[in-house]
Amino acid sequence: MSSEKRFTSRFRWLWPRSVRGQLVAGLVMLELIVLGVFVMLLLRAERSELLVRTGRRALYEASLSAAEGAAALHDGDSAALAGVLAGARHDPGVKGIEILDPNGKLLAMSAEENVTFPALSLAQAATSQQSLLSINKHGQANAAIAAMRMHGVIYGYVIVLPSVKPDLQELHQTLRITLFAAIIALAGCTWLAGLLANNIARPLALLLKSTRQLIRNPEDKTALPLAMQADNEVGELTQAFNRLILTIQEQRAQSRETLALLDSILANAPIGFAFFDRRHRVVRVNTFLAKMNGLAVSRYTGKLVTEVFPGLPGKRLDLGLERVLEGGEPVRDLELEMDASEPGNSGTTASHRKTWIVNLYPIGTEDEPIRWVGAVLVDATGRKQSEEALRKTEKLAATGRLAASIAHEINNPLEAVTNLLYLIQQADLDAESAQYVEMAQHELGRVSEITQQTLRFYRQSTLPSAAKLGELMDSVLALHQGRLIAMQIKVMREYDTDASLFCFSGEIRQLFTNLISNAVDSMMPNGGQLMIRIRKAHEVKAPEQEGVLVTIADTGCGVPSETLPHIFEPFYTTKEATGTGLGLWVSAQILRKHQARIAVRSRVTGQGGGTGTVFRVFFPANGVPAETASEVVI
């Protein structure tokens, strides 16, 4: 560090920190410099003038005294020399005077104490017609010498020592007046500088105060906008500051709104968001992804990707992150399968396989092309289940078509066998043979009824029609007769024979099949009771509305309370091996088409009393709406 910089840093604390102080100090320093230069030039000019005046005064006194002395010596009056000395000494600019004879001998002298006359060249003075001035080494008048000459005769010499006291007194007086005027000017300039500094510094101080207030509390807007303090550049600066703060506040408001929208998307989006740094550690996750493992969002920060997603899914995701960080290209449609905990039928948690589709993309900044890696995780479990359910549904549809084809083909030989039995019955048979033929006809009728019911499931009518619900229910129970007998399920029927409905009979048969099939499954393997009631009734919430109420109740295992709200959702099933989760969802669509309402009540083991489930379906009397009837095609 140079000496100048060290000096500046050492005395920096002496310099004022405020604009007002700096302006006043700068003006005072400028005035002092100007005053110093002025005094120096004044002293220099006065000093030169002083030397000139001192020399002239000495020459004048020497010439005057030489003329008076020459006259006195020419008259032979040596006593008159004392008057010459007295007259010269009366001048305050003369410090001493002496009179010498032509040989340089002292004739008379008058001088202050401790004054020494310099040795001067008398020969040079004798040859000169004018007084001579001796200058010392400092450039000052040392002495003046003049020859006492009259009528060409030299009577001696006069040496005068000049004094600078009068001139110094005059110079001091001039300096005092100059300093007094400078002090007055300095005070006036300081006052004016302070006034100007206030006009500049006051708005700047207010600007600084407001800026500090905004830094401490950006939301505090009590000091804004700043008032205009001056109609100059400072005022324009204040106005620009107000516009700047207004622009910043608008940008902050827009940024807060944008961040609020982004936070809302992150928090409520039905997909998972995660952000990882270059070390594969979690920077942030959203609420949806956090709930997957049942942890708080803050618990994920700083964890490795293999800790968040353990096992093979974590390793595959870790490799995907490495590919993005190395190549800078997104990784699309990375499929991960992992376990997720969900509540089971008994109230405990069960592990289910979840399928996620992950897309990885790089996130960069101005300094780093790839600073983070973003991950978007979409739950594809429903899609997988849909695909599986569609496969099962297609199998069921193919089975139905095959069953319908088989039933159709069975009808032809059945008709032939029926005709043959009729012919045999017309023959003369003994009683035992006739009984056997009658039994064969009865069993053949049952086979024909089963084939007809099978064909009804596949060949539905394209238009609704009036149907008796008791007959539709009996046709469904006939198909389940084998399972009901095998599982020792007792069926209790209470039908109103006049209860009919304008409906799509095939869809209503499908509805009854779904409900009875679920009831039978819930009573496996110990059997139980199945109660079916069909009667005319009025809507509970609208007593004026007539219709038909169908009640299907079983004594099975029941449906848990946490499962009950989800039973009509698509693909939701508690039958892991055999269920598709579509039966009750399809039933709900059929009920909606027929403007029907369904109520479910269930009780499981441990809730007191018996167990079982009750489905109550109310069909309005008008059934399918008229405007829908002409458009529906099944």
The token duo for 189 is 């300039």
Residue keyed to tokens 């929208």: 261
Q: What average pLDDT does the segment 47-59 reach?
A: 78
Lowest mean pLDDT segment, chosen from 14-18, 73-77, 513-517: 14-18
Express each pLDDT in 335-376 by its tens digit.
Answer: 888 765 443 333 333 346 778 888 898 988 877 888 888 888
Nearest residue to 108 (alpha-carbon basis) of 96, 118, 120, 93 = 96
pLDDT above 50 for 229: yes
Cis upstream peptide for 525 (omega within 30°)? yes
pLDDT above 50 for 88: yes
**Under a CB-based contact definition with an 8 Å cutoff, are residues 494 and 534 in contact?**
yes
Determine which helix (DSSP H) or strand (DSSP E) holds 418, and give its type and residue range: helix 381-426
Q: Which residue ranges make up each domain of the chain?
A: 15-223, 269-379, 381-459, 463-629
Q: What is the distance between the alpha carbons of residues 97 and 61, in angstroms, rounded to a whole number?
A: 9
Q: What average pLDDT does the segment 599-613 reach?
A: 75
pLDDT band at 409 (very low <50, low <70, confident <90, very high): low
**Under a CB-based contact definition with an 8 Å cutoff, are residues 555 and 590 in contact?**
no
pTM attached to this predicted model: 0.39
What pLDDT score was predicted for residue 235?
Answer: 67
Percent of the chain with pLDDT over 70: 76
**Under a CB-based contact definition with an 8 Å cutoff, are residues 313 and 342 in contact?**
no
> What residues have CB less than 8 Å from 199, skipping those under 6 apart?
229, 230, 234
Q: Which residues pair with 98 in a beta bridge?
A: 109, 159
Match domain 463-629 to its CATH number in 3.90.1150.10, 3.30.565.10, 3.40.50.970, 3.40.630.10.
3.30.565.10
Match domain 269-379 to its CATH number in 3.30.450.20, 3.40.50.150, 1.10.357.10, 1.20.120.1200.
3.30.450.20
**Under a CB-based contact definition with an 8 Å cutoff, are residues 135 and 142 in contact?**
yes
pLDDT above 80 for 89: no
DSSP 550-564: EEEEE-SS---TTTG
Question: CATH 1.50.10.100: does it fit domain 15-223?
Answer: no
In the chain, the N- to C-terminal Cα span, in Å, equals 97
Q: What average pLDDT does the segment 381-393 reach?
A: 69
Express each pLDDT in 525-547 by its tens digit.
Answer: 788 889 999 998 888 777 778 88
Topology agreement, domain 269-379 and domain 381-459:
no
Residue keyed to tokens 């009979």: 505
Question: CATH 1.10.287: does it fit domain 381-459?
Answer: yes
What pLDDT score was predicted for residue 533?
Answer: 92
Which position has the higher pLDDT, 412 or 42? Answer: 42
Q: What is the distance between the alpha carbons of residues 103 and 108, in angstroms, rounded to a whole number?
A: 14
SS3 145: strand
Express each pLDDT in 159-209 by its tens digit.
Answer: 888 877 777 777 778 778 888 888 888 788 777 777 776 666 666 667 777
Greatest mean pLDDT among 235-239, 297-301, 350-354: 297-301
Determine which helix (DSSP H) or strand (DSSP E) holds 210, and give its type and residue range: helix 165-216
